[in-house]
Chains A and B, each alone.
Chain A
C-alpha cells in the first residue's frame, strides 16, 4: 500500500543514488574548502547527508510498522 510516509521513505533511500550517479553534477574543482577540491569534499559531505536520510527512513519505517501492527492487532511486522 502506498502511503505518504512510504513515499518519503523511498525518496530518502533513492536520493543518494541520484546524487552520486550523476557524476557530472560534481566533477569540478571549485569551490575548494580548506584546499580540498569540490569533487572530494562534496562526496564526503554526501556520506553525512545519506546517513541522515537513512536514519530518517529508519525512524519513519519504525513508526510505519508500529502503526500497521497496531491496526492489525500486532499480527505482522
Chain B
C-alpha cells in the first residue's frame, strides 16, 4: 500500500484538520459562563447542552473512528459475527431510556460529575466509589489508544505513515502533531471543544456513508454481486484454523455468542465514563429521553457502514491487517479528493471521542481519587486545574502505549476494558433503583467479576494469539459459547446478592445514603436542582 503519498487526499485531510483545530480553540468562547474555573464548566460544558448538541456529542462519543474501522473490518474478516454491533446499538436505547434520566436527576440535585460521585453518595462508601473510578479509568485508557490506531490506519493508507524502515520519529510525527493539537485545545476549551467539532465530524461521516453506500455498489455491480463474492470468500478454508473463514449468517453455534455479545456490549456502553460525561452535560432530563429516540439514526449508519466490509471483499481488497481494509477500500474506489474527505471523517472521528474520553478519565481521577483520598479540601479551581493536567497525562499515556507497544496489545486491553466496565453495572444501575444491595457485597461482586473476566479472557487462544484471542468462551453450566463480559456480569450479580444476605445477617454497617427517593425524578426547574445557565442567569441558582 505505501505506494507514495496521496497528495490530493492528504491536502483535503490537512484542510479539515486545520478547520477543526481552529474550531477547537474557538470553542472556549462558545456559551461561555462567568465562572470558568469550575469542573462543571470545563468538564461538563456548563451542563447546558440541549437536545441537538447532546445528540452530536453522544454520537461523536459512542461511534468512534475505531468503530468505523473495526466494525467493517470484523465483517471483512469473518462475516456475520461482526454485525452484532447493530443489535447491540439497537438494545442500548431502550435500556438507557429506563435509567439515564434517573442518573441525570440525582447528579444535578447533588452536583455529581462522575458515576463514582453518585456511587459514593448513594452507598456512603469511598471504597466502592474508588473501585468504580479505577475501573472507569482502566477501561478508558485503551479506548483512547485505539482512537490513535484509527488515525494511524488512515495515515498509513495515505502514505504518510512511512514504511517499516523509516526512522520512528519521522514515521510517528504526523500522529504526534495530531495529538499535540488535540491535547492543547482540550486543555483550553474542555468539553466545549469536542461538542463543537462533533458537528463537523458527523456531517463528514454521514456524507461519506451516503456516497459510499450508493457509489461503491454501483461500481461493483450491485449488492447481489457483492454478497455473492463475499459468500464465496467466506467459504474458503482458512489455513490457520482449518475452518471456513466466516459465514454470511451465523450458524447454530454462533448464535449464543452473537446474542450475548450484543446484550453484554449494550449493558456496558453507558457504564463508560465518557458516555456519562456527555449525558450529564445535557440541560434537562427531557433532553436525554428525547435523545434516546433520535440516537438510533447512528445505528442505521453503523449498519450501512458494516456493509462496507462486504464491499471490501468484493472489491478485491487484500490486506494483512484488517484495520486497513476500509481506508484501503476508500482509496481504491473513490477519487482522490473524496478519499481525502473520507479520511478526514475517520481522523476527526478519532479526535472527538479521544477528547471526551480523556476529559471523563480526568474527571474521575480528580473527583474520586484526588479529592477523596489526596486533598479533600480542594477548591473548584484546584479541581479544574488537576483535571486539565490529568487529561494531558491520560493522552500522553495513550500515545506512549500506541507508539511503544504492538497494536494487538491495545486491542486486547480494549477487549478487557469492555469486560471490566460491565462489572460496575450492579453498583451504578442497581444503585439508581434500589438501596437493597449492600455496599460491601457490591465490592465483592465487582472483584469476582473482574477476576473471572480477566482470567477467562486470558485463556482464550486464537490462531494468531495465545492469550486474549477473543471475547467469547464457553459459559459455565450452559455449555454454549458466550461473551465473557456477560458471564462475568451474571456471576458478579449472583455474588452480590448472596453477599448482601450475608452482610444483612451479620448486620454490617450500611453506610449513609445522602440521596432521597424524589431526587431520582427531579427535573430542571424543580427546587434544589443545580441549574447552570448562560451568563445572564448564572449564579442565581447557587
Contact = CB atoms under 8 A, between A and B. Distances in A.
Q: Answer yes or no: do A and B interact.
A: yes
Interface of A: 12-14, 16-17, 20-24, 27-29, 32, 34-37, 39-40, 43-44, 46-48, 50-51, 53-55, 57-58, 61, 76-77
Contacts of A27: 80, 249-251, 255
A35 B83 contact: no
Interface string B500-542: 0000000000000000001001110010000000000000000
SS class, residues of chain B in contact with chain A: helix
B222 A50 contact: no
A76 B521 contact: yes
A58 B292 contact: yes
Which of A17, A29, A34, A53 has the most C-beta atoms of chain B within 10 angstroms of its own C-beta?
Answer: A17
B259 interface: yes
A20 B91 contact: yes
Contact of A43 (B83, B93, B518): B83
Interface stretch (B52-60, B175-183, B295-303, B318-326): B295-303
Contacts of B299: 47
Contacts of A43: 83, 86-87, 90, 303
Contacts of B226: 35
21 contacts: A16-B90, A20-B91, A23-B259, A27-B249, A29-B248, A35-B223, A37-B248, A39-B248, A39-B250, A44-B86, A44-B300, A47-B86, A47-B303, A51-B93, A53-B94, A54-B94, A54-B97, A58-B97, A76-B518, A76-B521, A77-B521
A17 B293 contact: no
Contacts of A29: 248-249
Interface string B57-97: 00000000000000000000000100100110111011001
Which of A32, A40, A43, A58 has the most C-beta atoms of chain B within 10 angstroms of its own C-beta?
Answer: A40
A20 B226 CA distance: 25
Given A23-B258, A40-B83, A76-B518, A46 B249 contact: no
Size band of the interface chain B makes with A: 35 or more
B248 A77 contact: no
B523 A77 contact: yes
Contact of B262 (A20, A53, A77): A20
Contact of B94 (A44, A47, A48, A50): A50
A76 B226 CA distance: 55
Interface string B375-407: 000000000000000000000000000000000
A23 B250 contact: yes
A32 B227 CA distance: 10
Which of B299, B304, B526 has the most C-beta atoms of chain A within 10 angstroms of its own C-beta?
Answer: B299
B307 interface: yes
Contacts of B248: 29, 37, 39
Contacts of B289: 58, 61
B14 to A, nearest CB: 35
Given A36-B307, A40-B307, 15 more contacts: A16-B91, A21-B263, A23-B258, A23-B259, A27-B251, A27-B255, A28-B249, A32-B224, A35-B222, A47-B89, A51-B93, A55-B293, A58-B97, A76-B518, A77-B521
A54 to B, nearest CB: 5
Nearest to A43: B86
Which of B83, B94, B262, B289 has the most C-beta atoms of chain A within 10 angstroms of its own C-beta?
Answer: B94
B263 A50 contact: no
A23 to B, nearest CB: 4
B290 A58 contact: yes
Interface of B: 80, 83, 86-87, 89-91, 93-94, 97-98, 222-227, 248-252, 255-256, 258-259, 262-263, 289-290, 292-293, 296-297, 299-300, 303-304, 307, 518, 521-523, 526
Which of A12, A23, A53 has the most C-beta atoms of chain B within 10 angstroms of its own C-beta?
Answer: A23
Contacts of A47: 86, 89-90, 296, 299-300, 303
Contacts of B307: 36, 40
A44 B258 CA distance: 16
Contacts of A28: 249
**Minimum-distance CB pairs A-B, first 5:** A35-B223, A35-B224, A20-B87, A23-B255, A13-B94
B303 A39 contact: no
Contacts of B94: 12-14, 16-17, 50, 53-54, 57
A16 B89 CA distance: 11
Nearest to A56: B293
Given A54-B93, A76-B518, A48 B300 contact: yes
A4 to B, nearest CB: 19
Nearest to B298: A47
B303 A34 contact: no
Nearest to B260: A21
Contacts of B98: 13
A39 B223 contact: no
B93 A39 contact: no
Contact of B259 (A21, A36, A37): A21
A24 B255 contact: yes
B294 to A, nearest CB: 8
Given A23-B259, A28-B249, A13 B90 contact: no
Nearest to A27: B249
Given A17-B91, A27-B249, A47-B86, A39 B80 contact: yes
Contacts of B304: 44
Contacts of A50: 90, 93-94, 296
Contacts of A17: 91, 94, 263
